Amino acid sequence: MGGMALAAALLSPAAAQDGRRVSVTGEISDTWCTISGLMFAKGTAHHQCAVWCALGGIPVSIRDADGALYLILKIGDDEDSAANPRVARMATHEVTVDGELLERDGVKYQLVDHIADDKGIITMTHEEYGIQPFGN
């Protein structure tokens, strides 16, 4: 389901709270590795896997400093959030985004209007974790 179709489904009156404008700062990460705990999902140790997951269609989220996840439904005019090369290029980057936050059943969805800041990869973790998934 494309980002716009999913957003429309989320916006049905019984389905979601009204959206509110927010700015979110955190690391771009795939939800599979973050939620499953299957492998370390942070920084450079996880970079290549995050790219593969994003291009493979795994939903991508922003993980803030407190560990909260904001599932990205779209960025700018992009219609698709899954397998989106624009999103994959930002894997493991620390970004600040501005947009609309929607919440449903405890899940936070982010409709990103624009990326206010992209610091690139700032969490360097190879020494501690090796290069995943072929490292330690």
pLDDT digits (tens, 9 = 90+) for 51-65: 888 899 899 999 999
Given a contact cutoff of 8 angstroms between Cβ atoms, the answer to whether 35 and 62 are in contact is: no
pLDDT of residue 123: 82
Counts of helices then strands in the chain (DSSP H, E): 5, 5
**Ranges of the chain with pLDDT below 50:** 10-16, 135-136
pLDDT of residue 13: 45
pLDDT in tens, 98-107: 999 999 999 9
pTM for this one?
0.77
pLDDT of residue 74: 87
Given a contact cutoff of 8 angstroms between Cβ atoms, the answer to whether 46 and 33 are in contact is: yes
